[in-house]
Structure 1
Amino acid sequence: MPSTELPNNPDANDLADTRTAWAEDRTVLANERTFAGWMRTGMACIALALGLKAVFKDTDHLMLAKGVAEIFIVVAILIFWSAAQKCRQAQSRMKDHDVEAQPHKRMTWLAAILTVGAFATGVILWLL
């Protein structure tokens, strides 16, 4: 009857280490793709806010239209920061391994820049 245990030889251990490293790399890349997806979702919220402004520009209830548009601006900002937080959490769990992810600061800066852009878009929507 064949043994189900891995043989105790260096080649088998090297293969296991290589597979583990590849899995860790895939996990880091998946985290970065997820972060990018959340950033796109936040940007879509900003685009929706701008679209609402354009659609309802001639309405008699301009303040209501601006208020609804601002909801999407706020949601975009919440999405940016939630994505940055989740990305940092995932990266901190991977620190024990030999993988190189995007630096935490880069994700935080991106969220901050998009937040400023979203906020500025909201201000412009109120001024128009």
Structure 2
Amino acid sequence: MAEDEQPGRGALAEDRTDLAEDRTLLANERTFSGWARTSMASIGIGVGFSALFRPVEPTWVAKAIATLFFLLAAFLIISAERRACALQARLNAHKIHDLATMNFRVMAIVISVGAMSLIVAIWWLT
């Protein structure tokens, strides 16, 4: 290969920067997934707590603690969505297909609505 056909140092540096940006976008998606799993785990703990301690008197104590876990789940997923969307807006995908910010929002809304529905269910349907 002739010396004039080799890419310049500037082009190589730009490629490395583009790949780093792609890795950051992928890490952002993995981080959001981790927070979504944590949020779902919080919902699971709330459901388990509500079911396990239902016979305990007064019943409102178990319901209140379960409600705290459901609210924590909603807070976690909404916070994760805001951070993920903010980072996603600042970066550009180069060689990967990144997740649309709308997908982050849809997942956050669905999990939050589910958590709020469980609060309604344990307080008014039992």
Give the shorter-chain TM-score range. Answer: 0.7 to 0.9
1:109 is matched with which residue?
106
Q: Please state if 1:35 is matched with 2:32.
A: yes
Q: Which moved more, 1:56-65 or 1:97-106?
A: 97-106
Residue of structure 1 equivalent to 2:90? 93
Give distance in 2, aligned partners of 1:28 and 1:22.
10
Match of 1:46 in 2: 43
- For structure 1, the residue ranges without an aligned partner over 5 or more in a row are 1-8
Percent identity at matched positions?
A: 36
CA distance in 2, matches of 1:53, 1:88: 33
Counterpart-to-counterpart distance in 1, 2:20 and 2:47 = 41
Aligned to 2:80: 83
In 1, Cα distance between the equivalents of 2:98 and 2:83?
14
Could you tell me the TM-score, scaled by structure 1's length?
0.84
Partner of 1:15: 12
1:68 aligns with 2:65: yes
Return the letter of the residue paired with 1:113: V
Aligned partner of 1:28: which letter?
A: L
Separation (CA, whole Å) in 2 of partners of 1:51 and 1:86: 29
SS in 2 for 1:10: coil
Counterpart CA distance in 2 for 1:117 and 1:21 is: 38
